[in-house]
C-alpha cells in the first residue's frame, strides 16, 4: 500500500509541475505575442486552468489503480514509480 501511495504522489506531483509550467509558458506567449487576446486571460480563466491541471493529473496518475498499468519499486528499490514496460 505504501508503494502505491508513494508512486501515485510522485507521479501526480511530477505531472502537475510539468503541466503548470506548460500553461504558464502558454500564458506568457499569449500576453507577449498576441496582445489582443491577453485581456481574455482573467482570474476566472486562471482558476479554471488550475482546477483543470489538478483534475487531469489525478486522472492520469490514477490510471494504475484501475488496472491501466501499475506502481512498483524502481530498479534500485528506493522508491516506487509507474512500471513503464507493462
How many residues would you count in the chain? 86
Q: Tell me: pLDDT of 78 over 70.
A: yes
Cα(55)–Cα(5) distance, rounded to whole angstroms? Answer: 17
Cβ neighbour number for residue 57 with a 10 Å cutoff: 20
Cα(72)–Cα(75) distance, rounded to whole angstroms? Answer: 9
- Chain center to CA of 9: 11
pTM of the model: 0.83
| pLDDT tens profile 12-30 | 999 999 999 999 999 999 9
| pLDDT tens profile 18-72 | 999 999 999 999 999 998 888 888 889 999 999 999 999 999 999 998 888 899 9
Q: Which domain holds residue 59?
A: 1-83
β partners of residue 82 = 71
β partners of residue 71 = 82
> What total number of domains does the chain contain?
1
Amino acid at each position: 500500500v505504501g508503494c502505491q501511495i508513494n508512486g501515485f504522489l510522485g507521479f501526480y506531483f511530477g505531472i502537475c509541475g510539468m503541466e503548470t509550467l506548460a500553461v504558464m509558458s502558454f500564458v506568457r506567449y499569449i500576453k507577449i505575442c498576441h496582445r489582443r487576446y491577453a485581456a481574455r486571460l482573467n482570474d476566472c480563466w486562471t482558476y479554471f486552468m488550475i482546477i483543470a491541471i489538478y483534475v487531469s493529473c489525478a486522472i492520469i496518475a490514477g490510471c494504475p489503480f484501475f488496472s491501466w498499468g501499475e506502481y512498483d519499486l524502481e530498479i534500485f528499490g528506493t522508491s516506487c514509480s509507474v512500471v513503464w514496460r507493462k
